[in-house]
Structure 1
Amino acid sequence: MDRRHISSGSPFETQIGYSRAVVVDGWIFVAGTTGYDYETMTMPDDVATQRANTLATIGRALAEAGATLDDVVQARYILPDRADFEACWPVLSAAFATARPAATMFEARLMTPEMKIEIEVVARQPG
Protein backbone atom coordinates (compact mmCIF):
# COMPACT_ATOMS: atom_id res chain seq x y z
CA MET A 1 0.00 0.00 0.00
CA ASP A 2 1.33 3.40 -1.01
CA ARG A 3 0.74 5.98 1.74
CA ARG A 4 1.79 9.64 1.88
CA HIS A 5 1.06 12.22 4.58
CA ILE A 6 0.47 15.89 3.80
CA SER A 7 0.80 18.64 6.40
CA SER A 8 -0.59 22.18 6.32
CA GLY A 9 1.91 23.24 8.96
CA SER A 10 -0.79 23.59 11.59
CA PRO A 11 0.55 23.03 15.10
CA PHE A 12 -2.63 21.06 15.83
CA GLU A 13 -1.46 18.28 13.51
CA THR A 14 1.50 17.56 15.78
CA GLN A 15 -0.31 18.27 19.04
CA ILE A 16 -3.28 16.04 18.24
CA GLY A 17 -1.49 13.51 16.03
CA TYR A 18 -3.06 13.70 12.57
CA SER A 19 -2.24 14.74 9.01
CA ARG A 20 -4.04 17.40 7.00
CA ALA A 21 -4.38 14.75 4.30
CA VAL A 22 -3.39 11.16 3.68
CA VAL A 23 -2.97 9.81 0.16
CA VAL A 24 -3.48 6.05 -0.17
CA ASP A 25 -3.62 4.20 -3.50
CA GLY A 26 -4.94 7.22 -5.39
CA TRP A 27 -7.45 8.26 -2.73
CA ILE A 28 -7.00 11.52 -0.82
CA PHE A 29 -8.54 11.82 2.63
CA VAL A 30 -8.50 15.42 3.88
CA ALA A 31 -9.02 15.83 7.62
CA GLY A 32 -11.70 18.04 9.07
CA THR A 33 -10.46 21.53 8.27
CA THR A 34 -11.50 24.73 10.02
CA GLY A 35 -11.16 28.39 9.14
CA TYR A 36 -7.83 29.22 10.79
CA ASP A 37 -5.55 31.61 9.02
CA TYR A 38 -2.39 29.54 9.50
CA GLU A 39 -0.09 32.45 8.64
CA THR A 40 -1.33 34.45 11.63
CA MET A 41 -2.82 31.55 13.64
CA THR A 42 -5.99 33.56 14.08
CA MET A 43 -9.61 32.57 13.62
CA PRO A 44 -11.78 35.10 11.78
CA ASP A 45 -15.06 36.07 13.44
CA ASP A 46 -17.43 35.33 10.55
CA VAL A 47 -18.44 32.08 8.85
CA ALA A 48 -17.81 33.49 5.34
CA THR A 49 -14.11 34.17 5.99
CA GLN A 50 -13.73 30.91 7.87
CA ARG A 51 -15.32 29.07 4.93
CA ALA A 52 -12.92 30.76 2.50
CA ASN A 53 -9.91 29.84 4.65
CA THR A 54 -11.18 26.27 4.99
CA LEU A 55 -11.58 25.79 1.24
CA ALA A 56 -8.16 27.36 0.61
CA THR A 57 -6.47 24.99 3.09
CA ILE A 58 -8.26 22.00 1.55
CA GLY A 59 -7.32 23.21 -1.93
CA ARG A 60 -3.64 23.41 -1.00
CA ALA A 61 -3.68 19.90 0.48
CA LEU A 62 -5.38 18.54 -2.64
CA ALA A 63 -2.89 20.34 -4.90
CA GLU A 64 0.01 18.79 -3.00
CA ALA A 65 -1.63 15.41 -3.63
CA GLY A 66 -2.01 16.17 -7.35
CA ALA A 67 -5.75 16.94 -7.30
CA THR A 68 -8.20 19.84 -7.09
CA LEU A 69 -11.63 20.50 -5.64
CA ASP A 70 -12.97 19.08 -8.92
CA ASP A 71 -11.71 15.65 -7.81
CA VAL A 72 -13.67 15.60 -4.54
CA VAL A 73 -16.14 12.69 -4.31
CA GLN A 74 -17.42 13.23 -0.77
CA ALA A 75 -17.77 16.27 1.49
CA ARG A 76 -18.85 16.61 5.10
CA TYR A 77 -19.82 19.99 6.50
CA ILE A 78 -19.96 20.45 10.26
CA LEU A 79 -21.37 23.66 11.72
CA PRO A 80 -22.24 24.44 15.33
CA ASP A 81 -25.18 26.56 14.11
CA ARG A 82 -27.09 25.09 11.17
CA ALA A 83 -28.53 28.56 10.50
CA ASP A 84 -25.09 29.54 9.12
CA PHE A 85 -25.15 26.79 6.48
CA GLU A 86 -27.50 28.38 3.95
CA ALA A 87 -25.21 31.43 3.66
CA CYS A 88 -22.43 29.00 2.62
CA TRP A 89 -24.39 27.39 -0.20
CA PRO A 90 -23.46 29.77 -3.05
CA VAL A 91 -19.72 29.49 -2.41
CA LEU A 92 -19.82 25.74 -1.78
CA SER A 93 -21.93 25.26 -4.90
CA ALA A 94 -19.36 27.18 -6.94
CA ALA A 95 -16.37 25.43 -5.34
CA PHE A 96 -17.82 21.99 -6.04
CA ALA A 97 -19.71 22.78 -9.28
CA THR A 98 -17.72 20.24 -11.29
CA ALA A 99 -17.25 17.59 -8.61
CA ARG A 100 -20.78 17.62 -7.20
CA PRO A 101 -19.67 15.32 -4.35
CA ALA A 102 -21.89 13.23 -2.15
CA ALA A 103 -22.30 15.54 0.84
CA THR A 104 -23.65 15.65 4.36
CA MET A 105 -24.10 18.53 6.82
CA PHE A 106 -23.96 17.96 10.56
CA GLU A 107 -24.79 20.36 13.34
CA ALA A 108 -22.29 19.77 16.15
CA ARG A 109 -20.07 21.69 18.49
CA LEU A 110 -16.54 22.13 17.18
CA MET A 111 -13.25 22.07 19.08
CA THR A 112 -13.44 25.72 20.16
CA PRO A 113 -16.42 28.10 20.35
CA GLU A 114 -15.00 30.53 17.76
CA MET A 115 -15.02 27.82 15.05
CA LYS A 116 -18.06 28.25 12.80
CA ILE A 117 -17.43 25.60 10.10
CA GLU A 118 -15.37 22.47 9.55
CA ILE A 119 -15.14 20.66 6.23
CA GLU A 120 -13.78 17.18 5.54
CA VAL A 121 -13.40 15.78 2.02
CA VAL A 122 -12.40 12.63 0.19
CA ALA A 123 -11.02 12.94 -3.33
CA ARG A 124 -9.61 10.67 -6.01
CA GLN A 125 -6.41 11.57 -7.84
CA PRO A 126 -7.13 12.16 -11.53
CA GLY A 127 -5.96 9.66 -14.11
Structure 2
Amino acid sequence: MQRNHDEVVKMGTMLAESWGTILGSPPEMCASMIMVGLPSKLCVMSDDDALRLRSYLRVYHAIEVPVYYQVLRNDDRDPRDKNGYITGYVRISHQVYNTVDDYQKLKTAINQLLEDGKICSGLPTE
Protein backbone atom coordinates (compact mmCIF):
# COMPACT_ATOMS: atom_id res chain seq x y z
CA MET A 1 0.00 0.00 0.00
CA GLN A 2 2.82 2.40 0.85
CA ARG A 3 4.57 1.69 -2.45
CA ASN A 4 1.38 2.41 -4.39
CA HIS A 5 0.90 5.67 -2.49
CA ASP A 6 4.49 6.78 -3.06
CA GLU A 7 4.35 5.95 -6.76
CA VAL A 8 1.00 7.62 -7.45
CA VAL A 9 2.18 10.80 -5.72
CA LYS A 10 5.42 10.69 -7.73
CA MET A 11 3.57 10.19 -11.04
CA GLY A 12 0.90 12.77 -10.18
CA THR A 13 3.59 15.31 -9.36
CA MET A 14 5.39 14.52 -12.62
CA LEU A 15 2.19 15.13 -14.61
CA ALA A 16 1.31 18.33 -12.74
CA GLU A 17 4.80 19.71 -13.29
CA SER A 18 4.73 18.82 -17.00
CA TRP A 19 1.33 20.45 -17.48
CA GLY A 20 1.96 23.44 -15.20
CA THR A 21 -0.95 22.52 -12.95
CA ILE A 22 -1.52 21.14 -9.45
CA LEU A 23 -2.53 18.03 -7.58
CA GLY A 24 -6.21 18.01 -6.71
CA SER A 25 -5.57 17.24 -3.04
CA PRO A 26 -2.64 17.05 -0.65
CA PRO A 27 -0.58 13.85 -1.12
CA GLU A 28 -1.19 12.77 2.47
CA MET A 29 -4.92 12.52 1.66
CA CYS A 30 -4.33 10.01 -1.15
CA ALA A 31 -3.92 6.26 -0.97
CA SER A 32 -3.24 4.77 -4.40
CA MET A 33 -5.24 7.35 -6.43
CA ILE A 34 -4.67 11.06 -6.94
CA MET A 35 -6.34 13.84 -8.92
CA VAL A 36 -4.17 15.88 -11.28
CA GLY A 37 -5.30 19.18 -12.76
CA LEU A 38 -5.49 19.39 -16.53
CA PRO A 39 -4.19 22.51 -18.28
CA SER A 40 -6.84 25.22 -18.56
CA LYS A 41 -6.03 25.58 -22.28
CA LEU A 42 -7.87 22.27 -22.88
CA CYS A 43 -11.09 24.09 -21.92
CA VAL A 44 -12.79 21.36 -19.90
CA MET A 45 -15.95 23.42 -19.43
CA SER A 46 -18.59 20.75 -18.83
CA ASP A 47 -19.16 17.10 -18.04
CA ASP A 48 -19.57 16.56 -21.79
CA ASP A 49 -16.09 17.99 -22.41
CA ALA A 50 -14.64 15.69 -19.75
CA LEU A 51 -16.34 12.68 -21.34
CA ARG A 52 -15.16 13.74 -24.80
CA LEU A 53 -11.54 13.95 -23.56
CA ARG A 54 -11.80 10.60 -21.80
CA SER A 55 -13.16 8.97 -24.97
CA TYR A 56 -10.51 10.64 -27.12
CA LEU A 57 -7.70 9.34 -24.87
CA ARG A 58 -9.19 5.84 -24.95
CA VAL A 59 -9.84 5.62 -28.68
CA TYR A 60 -6.84 7.49 -30.07
CA HIS A 61 -4.17 6.75 -27.46
CA ALA A 62 -5.33 3.53 -25.71
CA ILE A 63 -5.33 5.38 -22.38
CA GLU A 64 -8.05 4.62 -19.85
CA VAL A 65 -8.28 7.38 -17.26
CA PRO A 66 -11.26 9.04 -15.59
CA VAL A 67 -11.63 12.73 -16.49
CA TYR A 68 -13.70 15.09 -14.34
CA TYR A 69 -15.10 18.60 -14.72
CA GLN A 70 -14.99 20.81 -11.62
CA VAL A 71 -17.28 23.83 -11.72
CA LEU A 72 -15.77 27.09 -10.47
CA ARG A 73 -17.01 27.91 -7.01
CA ASN A 74 -15.05 30.88 -5.69
CA ASP A 75 -12.99 32.77 -8.27
CA ASP A 76 -10.45 34.17 -5.85
CA ARG A 77 -9.66 30.71 -4.42
CA ASP A 78 -10.24 28.43 -7.42
CA PRO A 79 -7.07 26.73 -8.69
CA ARG A 80 -5.31 28.38 -11.62
CA ASP A 81 -2.49 27.68 -14.00
CA LYS A 82 -0.68 30.34 -16.03
CA ASN A 83 -3.51 30.53 -18.59
CA GLY A 84 -6.66 30.43 -16.48
CA TYR A 85 -8.78 28.37 -14.12
CA ILE A 86 -8.25 24.64 -13.79
CA THR A 87 -11.63 23.00 -14.34
CA GLY A 88 -10.58 19.55 -15.52
CA TYR A 89 -8.87 16.74 -13.62
CA VAL A 90 -7.68 13.22 -14.35
CA ARG A 91 -7.74 10.62 -11.59
CA ILE A 92 -4.73 8.38 -11.84
CA SER A 93 -4.04 5.31 -9.77
CA HIS A 94 -1.05 3.10 -9.15
CA GLN A 95 -1.11 -0.65 -8.78
CA VAL A 96 1.45 -3.40 -9.30
CA TYR A 97 0.64 -3.61 -13.03
CA ASN A 98 1.24 0.11 -13.77
CA THR A 99 4.52 1.25 -15.29
CA VAL A 100 6.14 4.65 -15.68
CA ASP A 101 5.46 4.34 -19.41
CA ASP A 102 1.70 4.41 -18.70
CA TYR A 103 2.00 7.85 -17.13
CA GLN A 104 4.46 9.08 -19.76
CA LYS A 105 1.94 8.10 -22.43
CA LEU A 106 -0.76 10.20 -20.72
CA LYS A 107 1.64 13.13 -20.31
CA THR A 108 2.59 12.98 -23.98
CA ALA A 109 -1.03 12.74 -25.20
CA ILE A 110 -2.09 15.82 -23.21
CA ASN A 111 1.03 17.76 -24.22
CA GLN A 112 0.36 16.88 -27.87
CA LEU A 113 -3.19 18.23 -27.62
CA LEU A 114 -1.78 21.47 -26.21
CA GLU A 115 0.90 21.68 -28.89
CA ASP A 116 -1.76 21.17 -31.58
CA GLY A 117 -3.95 23.88 -30.01
CA LYS A 118 -6.89 21.52 -29.52
CA ILE A 119 -9.66 22.01 -26.97
CA CYS A 120 -12.13 19.46 -25.62
CA SER A 121 -15.16 20.72 -27.53
CA GLY A 122 -13.29 20.17 -30.80
CA LEU A 123 -12.25 16.59 -30.15
CA PRO A 124 -13.87 13.79 -32.18
CA THR A 125 -16.65 11.83 -30.54
CA GLU A 126 -15.32 8.34 -31.40
TM-score with structure 1 setting the length:
0.32
More strand per residue:
1
More helix by share: 2
TM-score calculated relative to the size of structure 2: 0.32
